[in-house]
Amino acid sequence: MRRGNIKLIPGPTLAFHDLGCSKGGRQLFKGVHCTVQPGRWLHIVGANGIGKTSLLRMLCGLSPIEAGDILWNGQSIRKQRGPFQQDLCYLGHLNGLQESMTVRENLAFTTALRGHACTAKAVSATLERFGVAGRAGHLVRHLSQGQKRRVALARLSLAPARLWVLDEPFVAMDDTGIQMLSGLIAQHLAHGGICVLTSHQSVTIGTVPAQTLELRA
């Protein structure tokens, strides 16, 4: 595995320690070990129903950790809920956008939830960057699936976070969208961030090699 200058970026590391998960009495995966250094990204792969989303939800603290532990900056995330949540930005299968509110209102609200204010100017600049320029005043229900996904991703750059957890971020995106998102992730990694994502497609993030975690039953 190639280890370039990105290895030297300081910042918190993410580690899974003997992680296990079961659902409805069935063991999904167990004994998952992995360490992700700052400036690297983790690609979680595995068959449908193997527990990729469950792993991401455990990582975010949406589901309890059943077996093993997840360490952020060397400390269990169970013991540092607040500080860890400050560092985390999660995008799940659901976009988290209220359909009957405008794009601007939605983004202002989600950034407020992350503890930041955002100006109308920042929103329109971000939307332009995400290829949905001029949609700030539109209701979310009038956008296409791909556009909704882009708006949801726009929150990544409106509120800074060290750890991005993205569940199938490339779904419903066109080629330019995929390129734009990989560029965004590459930039995030260059600043010492970490990205954990699931995707069934092969993903290229700039020149940063993928660290792959394959889940098996």
Partner 1 sequence: MNPPPSPSPMQLGLGAVMLAVLRREIALAMRQKGEVLTPLVFFIVVASLFPLGVGPESALLLRMAPGVLWVSALLAAMLSLQRMFASDYADGSLEQMLLSTTPLTLLVAAKALSHFLLSGLPLVLVAPVLGLQFGLDGQSLWILMLSLLLGTPTLSLIGSIGASLTLGVRGAGVLLSLLILPLYIPVLIFGAGAVEAHASGLGSGGHLSLLAALLVLALFFAPLATTAALKISLE
Show contacts with partner 1 in window 149-168 (CB under 8 A): 157-160
Of 32 and 154, CB closest to partner 1? 154
Structure token pair of residue 178: 């995929």
Integer angstrom CA distances of residue 112 from 61, 194, 214: 20, 22, 35
Do 192 and 11 form a contact (C-beta atoms < 8 A)? yes
For helices 145-158 and 103-113, give the axis angle rounded to 10 degrees: 40
Q: Is 34 in the site for partner 1 (CB under 8 A)?
A: no
- Smallest gap from Cβ 152 to partner 1, in A, equals 8
Q: Which stretch binds partner 1 (CB under 8 A): 13-21, 67-75, 97-105, 208-216?
A: 97-105
- Smallest gap from Cβ 155 to partner 1, in A, equals 8
- Smallest gap from Cβ 214 to partner 1, in A, equals 25
**61/84 Cα distance (integer angstroms):** 10
Q: Which stretch binds partner 1 (CB under 8 A): 29-37, 42-50, 88-96, 168-176?
A: 88-96
Show contacts with partner 1 in window 116-135 (CB under 8 A): 116-119, 121-122, 125-126, 129
**166/204 Cα distance (integer angstroms):** 15
Q: Is 147 in the site for partner 1 (CB under 8 A)?
A: no
- Smallest gap from Cβ 107 to partner 1, in A, equals 11
Integer angstrom CA distances of residue 61 from 69, 117, 166, 178: 11, 24, 14, 27
Question: Cα 40 to the chain's mean position, in Å?
Answer: 13
Do 54 and 21 form a contact (C-beta atoms < 8 A)? yes
Q: Which stretch binds partner 1 (CB under 8 A): 6-14, 33-41, 71-79, 105-113?
A: 105-113
Q: What kind and span of H or E run contains 216?
A: none
Q: Which stretch binds partner 1 (CB under 8 A): 5-13, 40-48, 111-119, 208-216?
A: 111-119
Phi, psi (deg, nearest 5) at residue 193: -80, 170
Show contacts with partner 1 in window 43-72 (CB under 8 A): 60-64
Q: Side chain identity at 117, as an amino acid letter?
A: A
Report the interface residues with partner 1, using CB under 8 A. 60-64, 82, 85-86, 88, 90, 92-101, 105, 108-119, 121-122, 125-126, 129, 157-160, 183-184, 186-187
